[in-house]
Amino acid sequence: MKLTKFCTMHASQLVSVASTLALAMLLAACGGSGTTPITDATTTPSGLRALPAPYTSAKAVSYSPYRSTTTDAATHGTEVITDAMVEQDLRLLVAGGFGLIRLFDSDDVAVTVMRVISTKNLPLVVHQGIYIQAGNDAFSADEIARGVALAKSYPNIILAVSVGNETMVNWSTTPINPTVMAQHLAYVRSQITQPVTTDDNWAFYGQAPRIIMDTIDFASVHTYSMVDAHYLPTKWDWKQLSVSDLGLRATDMMNAAMGSTRSDYQVVRDFFDVQGYKAMPIVIGETGWKAVDSSGASWYRYLAHPVNQKMYLDRLATWANEGKTGAGPKQVIYFEAFDEPWKGSDDKWGLFNVQRQARYAVQALHTDKSKPDTVVTWNWEPGSYTDADAVYYAPPTIHAAVTQTKYTLYSEATLAASELRETWFGTVRMDAFASSTYPEVSSTAAPGDGTHSIDIGPNPQSYGWGVLIQSNPGGASINLSNFASGNINFSVKTTYAGKLQVGLSSDSADNGPQEAFVVFGNGQYGYCNTGSWCQVSIPVQAFLTANPKLDLHLVLTRFMLADVYATTGNSAPTTAQPDVYLDGVYWQQ
């Protein structure tokens, strides 16, 4: 094969015919420079491409235009993004003083964004993304080709390019081997003139292999103190329990959050310096703060609030200005500009909500909320706040323990002498997954338990189906600690094939709900799927064994019956499923 033919191939096509060294030599022969020289600790390498001044001096934010709840995260295939929508968004950002946006991929929407910036002569520059998808070489090759074409077409707007997003950190959802990523980086760098990087978490960059460090012009590092508060709850002191003055706890918490963000940067800076890469610039490619807890599990109830978001953004801006004039990151890109409902539980990071209303964090950037900005009007999100509204950690309230020996959630049986029976939609409610409706019917009932039962006609989603009896939203937990040695009982009638699961959840003193599940099949705990009524009795200890962090002092979900395929091991059905009738649900000491 002729060398000229090789030069038109994508780097992933070369892996099978060339080693990494041969690839680098080949790219050099093709006229590009795919790698940067190893950085000596005492010198500035001439091979690093400098970040242009418009990149480092601008106020920066990540931008994605998707507004629908149905947009597919992998393909963005269902929502049509028009020039007018993009122009509205970008003019809002310009009005807020932003001059740099980061895009995550090089799809048709990126083309639209570039066209709008160019034709409308908007004062914006771009940190362009090239999305690399694990296990899909054809997609990645096409995406690289699109990204290279964009960078070549708009060299005065696209000032930096990222290849891959969170692909090498150990929890990556699209994992790429660093050797493969280095090949992608080298290829892209050989084709364009802009500085090139890969976006990844601080934990990866804090121990990045040389094969990556030698192929980038700068490091684009992600840090999320807010997320770490959930997944790494001891990484920084988000509770601030030593601050007895509750009026100061939120302020001290946000100061500590900013301290954690600075620390993540410093981990990467120190590692690069020790490895001999003192001249390698570092930018914060992503960091942000949720305005609303959209986790679905109250993970961020002590953290997420419009005021806390503003407190973080203000502190971040101070640090960003420090980095532009001295030590620190050379740019900080806030995540993100607008809410994206299609992300579900990972939504609500936006400085603007999905209706394009400015949140409290940025309202002061444009004080006249009715002033038109040529095309758009700056509207504020409803709500009036002061700093005193910021949220902070407070230990959950533990109520007096239920002293009755029987705690009943659903039954028509005669009330026992020592029984506490719940009234639905008072303290608790029944909720079905995916807004399904499971009615109470009179066609069948468990023996000795009245004439009604709950008819669960499974309405499977891709992940499964289920029903919960739980606290009303914002409602109190219940102290069922006296039932630790007891059982959870219910009657069931079905011919449903495969296993089912029962689940509980509780609050915790640390960071949101804990869940525990017990999976069972025919013949276990009294369960049968013969079409006759049978009574199931599961020891509460089985749930405590499944998750020792489950706290019976703070029970939230009193009972869940479900088939979540990832837990039960069942396969998603292709035909209608038989009904599951539920009756006589209670805890017994």
DSSP tag of 175: -
CATH code given to domain 53-389:
3.20.20.80
Q: Is 454 exposed, middle or buried (0-12, 13-18, 19+ CB in 10 A)?
A: buried
Indicate the pLDDT class of residue 461, thresholds 50, 70 and 90.
confident
Mean pLDDT of 378-397: 93
Mean pLDDT of 275-294: 96
| Average pLDDT in the chain | 88
Structure confidence at residue 399 (pLDDT): 95
- Domain 406-588: CATH class, spelled out: mainly beta
Structure confidence at residue 327 (pLDDT): 86
Structure confidence at residue 9 (pLDDT): 30
Structure confidence at residue 458 (pLDDT): 80
pLDDT tens column, 10-51: 333 322 322 332 333 333 333 345 556 544 433 344 589 999
Q: Any idea where the domains of the chain sit in the sequence? A: 1-32, 53-389, 406-588
Mean pLDDT of 98-102: 97
3-state secondary structure 355-395: CCEECHHHHCCCCCCCCEECCEECEECCCCCCHHHCCCCCC
Asked if 312 and 259 count as a contact pair (C-beta separation under 8 A), the reply is no
Structure pTM? 0.77
**How far is the C-alpha of 95 from the C-alpha of 98, rounded, in Å?**
7
Mean pLDDT of 369-374: 64
pLDDT tens column, 336-348: 999 999 888 899 9
**Other C-beta atoms within 10 Å of 76: how many?**
19
For the sheet containing 555-564, what is the strand order? 428-432, 464-471, 555-564, 500-506, 514-520
Asked if 555 and 478 count as a contact pair (C-beta separation under 8 A), the reply is yes
Structure confidence at residue 16 (pLDDT): 30
Indicate the pLDDT class of residue 425, thresholds 50, 70 and 90.
low
Instruction: Indicate if the pLDDT at residue 353 is higher than 70.
Output: yes
Instruction: Indicate if the pLDDT at residue 511 is higher than 80.
Output: no
Asked if 460 and 433 count as a contact pair (C-beta separation under 8 A), the reply is no
Structure confidence at residue 24 (pLDDT): 34
Mean pLDDT of 395-406: 94
Structure confidence at residue 7 (pLDDT): 31
Q: To 5 degrees, how large is the angle CA 564–CA 508–CA 224?
A: 80
Structure confidence at residue 70 (pLDDT): 65
- Looking at 37-51, 194-208, 313-327, 355-369, which range is the least confident one? 37-51
Asked if 58 and 99 count as a contact pair (C-beta separation under 8 A), the reply is yes
Alpha helices of 419-505 — where are they, by DSSP H?
none
The phi, psi pair for 293, rounded to 5°, reads: -80, 105
**How far is the C-alpha of 221 from the C-alpha of 200, rounded, in Å?**
5
Distances (CA, A) of 99 to 44, 102, 194: 28, 10, 18
